[in-house]
Amino acid sequence: MAARGHVQDPNDRRLRPIYDYLDNGNNKMAIQQADKLLKKHKDLHCAKVLKAIGLQRTGKQDEAYALAQEVAALEPTDDNSLQALTILYREMHRPELVTKLYEAAVKKVPNSEEYHSHLFMAYARVGEYKKMQQAGMALYKIVPKNPYYFWSVMSLIMQSISAQDENLSKTMFLPLAERMVEKMVKEDKIEAEAEVELYYMILERLEKYKEALDVVRGKLGEKLTSELQSRENKCMAMYKKLCRWPECNALSRRLLLKNSDDWQFYITYFDSVFQLIDESWTPPPEEEHSLEGEVHYSIEQAVKFIEERITEESKSSRPLRGPYLAKLELIRRLRYRGCNDEYKLGDPEELMFQYFKKFGDKPCCFTDLKVFVDLLPSSQYTKFISQLLEVIPLSATAENEIALPADIKALQQHLCVVQLSRLLGIYHAMDKKQKLTVVRELMLRYRHGLEFGKSCLKTELQFSDYYCLLAVHLLLDLWLEGEDTAVWQCLTLLEEGLSHSPSNAQFKLLLIRIYCRLGAFEPVAELYSSLDAKHIQHDTIGYLLTRYAESLGHYAAASQSCNFALRFFHSNQKDTSEYIIQAYKYGAFEKIPEFIAFRNRLNSSLHFAQVRTERMLLDLLLEANISTSLEESIKSMSLSPEEDDIPWKDLRDNRDLTVLFNWDPKDRDISEEHRKLSLEEETMWLRIRSLTLRLVSGLPTLSHTIQPKNSEKTAENGVSSKIDTIRSLLQQLEAAVDSGKKFLEQKIQYPVLGPPPTRMAGFFSNGSCQCQTSLFYLVSDIYELDTNGLDSAEIQERIGNSFKSLVERLTDLFNKCKGDLIEVRDGTLKTHPNLLENLVFFVETISIALWVSSYCDSVLRPFKSNLQKKKKKKKESSVAMPPVFTHFLDYVTELQTLTSNVIDHIKGLEIILTALKLEELSLKDTLLLQEEKKFTKTVQGKVQSSYHHSVQEIGELLKKRLDTIKKLKI
């Protein structure tokens, strides 16, 4: 704010101190300074607005808004006031008010270019495309500059994109935009590349591909210079749309002659050759082959062309990978088509061997060859690997020692072979003993490779890091096969790797996944924050954190991780508007629809919906009826049982499920089917959680005083419809639970590094689901009692039975929480994260039980006081108390006893965890070296500390809930 242009205005000098205070974050002084100034200069509007900014930043939103509206009502036209109000409205997240501000300013100063452009940008922030179009034209009339005219054209395109009716888009908005640009073309007024881009975009959206091609190939196309091969790429796109394969082929051939390493053009070249073969295309006898020159239309020509590229490459000053990979790609396509011509190109095994000899020392060699390994027959795998190993210069110092690389190039070559061995399934076929031998060898190579990276900075990765990762993958295989010690070795090796390569994200991500699988969340929070996830990564990898934080009893960390994610999602709205404005300013029109699509994709994000729901449930769990009442908590979240703000039909799964490196063969890797099933499971679990939240938010709406025996009339005061909402939600919850149970019957097993399963299976198996559903049915019964009065013995009996069965179910749930969280068996540590998850579900269920009990309490209390009044009037010593009171009091007493028992159990767990002496664990495994034992102790200490922390947080929360139960005495 301080960096303002020099304006010849005495007010500027007066306002300067306020700006400085605001810039330095000293909001109270800014308010005082503004008050002083306003005493002397009552009409200084800007001072009022600056005071409002100070109030907004000190949390006094209502006062700030009132002050701002005072100034806005005067329709100011001075630059200072307008800019200050814009800043204030932005901080209030009320961009729509800025538009009103500049609409008024433009009316008063109709010829101001500045105010008109501010108005246009204000409309852009709120997505008012129709008004943007009008504002752009108004601006062009005042100042006839091309950009303003094309702002208006772009706004028409945006109207077409946002139109619900595609027909309207193609018959009205886009043709109008086309005519507007054609007018400028005829008048020869097209000046900039952005304007040609816009014309091309319109024609492409209208599917006028021929006209778009003419624009790009014509005089206007000469302006397309900012991107490399921009013109050629656009021509290629249009040729494909028009199925003009001869041109596609000739153009890609010509571009490959210029640069034989450009992979995208090889793909187009092959696509077009095979299309022409399928169409039996032949060149016209006397004319040119195509607009773009010579065309290849047979396999012989393609083979010859690729061979020529390889010959050319051998003369090149630097080695190019493209021609060699193109040969393999052509073999694959010929094999797929069942052609017998592939022999002309050579044996794939030999070609891959030659490729390895040429490029094996490059880290990309593995990823290049990975695509083509299916060309090898499985019987040749071992021979192929042996052949590769033979050409690597390795040397052993003694006879029985492992041969090691002497330099980084040899190390990279060997690493490539090890990765291929894993990919071809050679390691998977080994038995336990062989796998452990390979792990030892890989770790020895890893430690040897560290010598080459002694000069590496902390931010750089060690050359041999992949050896460590591959060793961990082998140990993970053993763990899944039932070898319990293997998981501790995984953590040990990863922690050791991380100590040498502190910036290796793969080590951190794998540690996060394994610690979470073991039920230890404490080390995960630190690891995730050291990843320093930026922007979109909060959506793509945030699930690694938010899935486990709450379910493992780390409530404070869960709250924090939800905040991280939500901050990103909420700022996305504001940030995207700014990107769009910049795109208009700099004429990057083609980016505007991309930004809008990006914003929509984030708003429909599955992770966003999950974090929002879980965050609200967590806040209620930690605060409702502890620090604030349930009603206040729900009100502050603006929750309503009727409203569902999750876009179920448009939910987008933005998770990056391949973020962890993986060298598994296709049959063991994460498949498309896994992704679909995971999304289905996540959506079902989200539906159950969302309905639970809405049901809880409906409880306070029922707590109104209702005239008994008046159930027909209650519809008038709106409360009956509230219970209908609750009952309807309860039916939906039952349906969601049934779907979830059917889904789990499939017993899906995701790969160990694939998507983590949801908490749904535990929710059903430990009985939390039945408890929570019964509690919401109890609400319906209590409501009935409230409406019909105490006369109905049947309702009272039903409620009494519900209370009894609830206590039984909660006791069953507690029994499933019993057992040691960490136990030492045969000198090996074993964790039981499911017990921890059950405890967390117990706390949640008991909290819902208490919220429902509070509602029961609010219904029964007035009945009891009425009975006592009657008793006094009649002066009878014994008016029979209805049984429902006794049932309720017994229920509350049993809840209190049960909760106390759970708290005692948790205290016991704390004592056991504290007393557990991990140092005495006999790490009898001879595989562990002395330096590894140090890391093993660290790892086991972290797990023990994390469990201790979880148990403490769960215990603290339960104690607070126990205090709430003690207040429930009617």
**pLDDT at residue 341, rounded to an integer:** 63
> What count of other Cβ atoms lies within 10 Å of the Cβ of residue 833?
20
Mean pLDDT of 27-40: 87
**pLDDT at residue 862, rounded to an integer:** 82
Mean pLDDT of 905-913: 91
Mean pLDDT of 568-588: 88
**pLDDT at residue 707, rounded to an integer:** 44
Percent of the chain past pLDDT 70, that is, above it, reads 94
pLDDT in tens, 845-864: 999 999 999 998 888 888 87
Q: Where are the alpha helices (DSSP H) in 656-792?
A: 672-702, 719-744, 760-765, 768-788
**pLDDT at residue 714, rounded to an integer:** 45
- pLDDT band at residue 918 using 50, 70 and 90 as cut-offs: low
**pLDDT at residue 121, rounded to an integer:** 93
pLDDT in tens, 620-637: 999 988 888 888 899 888
CA distance 887 to 884: 5
* Mean pLDDT estimate for the chain: 89
**pLDDT at residue 219, rounded to an integer:** 92
Angle at which helices 45-57 and 27-40 cross, to 10°: 160
**pLDDT at residue 343, rounded to an integer:** 65
> In this model, does residue 928 exceed pLDDT 90?
no
Contact 651, 607 (CB under 8 A): no
Mean pLDDT of 268-272: 95
**pLDDT at residue 512, rounded to an integer:** 96
Mean pLDDT of 508-526: 95
Q: Where are the alpha helices (DSSP H) in 206-298?
A: 209-217, 230-241, 245-258, 263-278
**pLDDT at residue 402, rounded to an integer:** 87
**pLDDT at residue 435, rounded to an integer:** 94
Report which of 563, 489, 568 is spatially closest to residue 925, judged by C-alpha positions: 489
Cα→Cα distances 653→213, 264, 604, 739, Å: 36, 28, 9, 20
Q: Which residue has the tokens 């302006």?
A: 223
pLDDT in tens, 445-481: 999 999 999 888 889 999 999 999 999 999 999 999 9
pLDDT in tens, 683-694: 999 999 999 999
- pLDDT band at residue 551 using 50, 70 and 90 as cut-offs: very high
Mean pLDDT of 598-609: 94
**pLDDT at residue 869, rounded to an integer:** 73
**pLDDT at residue 3, rounded to an integer:** 47
Q: List the single range of 343-347, 612-616, 765-769 with lowest mean pLDDT.
A: 343-347
Residue 491 token pair: 């953590």
**pLDDT at residue 6, rounded to an integer:** 47
pLDDT in tens, 327-371: 999 999 998 888 766 667 888 999 999 999 999 999 999 999 999
pLDDT in tens, 770-788: 999 999 999 999 998 888 8
Report which of 475, 479, 389, 381 is spatially closest to residue 435, judged by C-alpha positions: 475
Residues in CB range of 297: below 8 A, 6 or more apart: 246, 249, 273, 276, 277, 281, 282, 283
Q: List the single range of 256-265, 682-691, 793-802 with lowest mean pLDDT.
A: 793-802
**pLDDT at residue 935, rounded to an integer:** 86
> In this model, does residue 54 exceed pLDDT 80?
yes
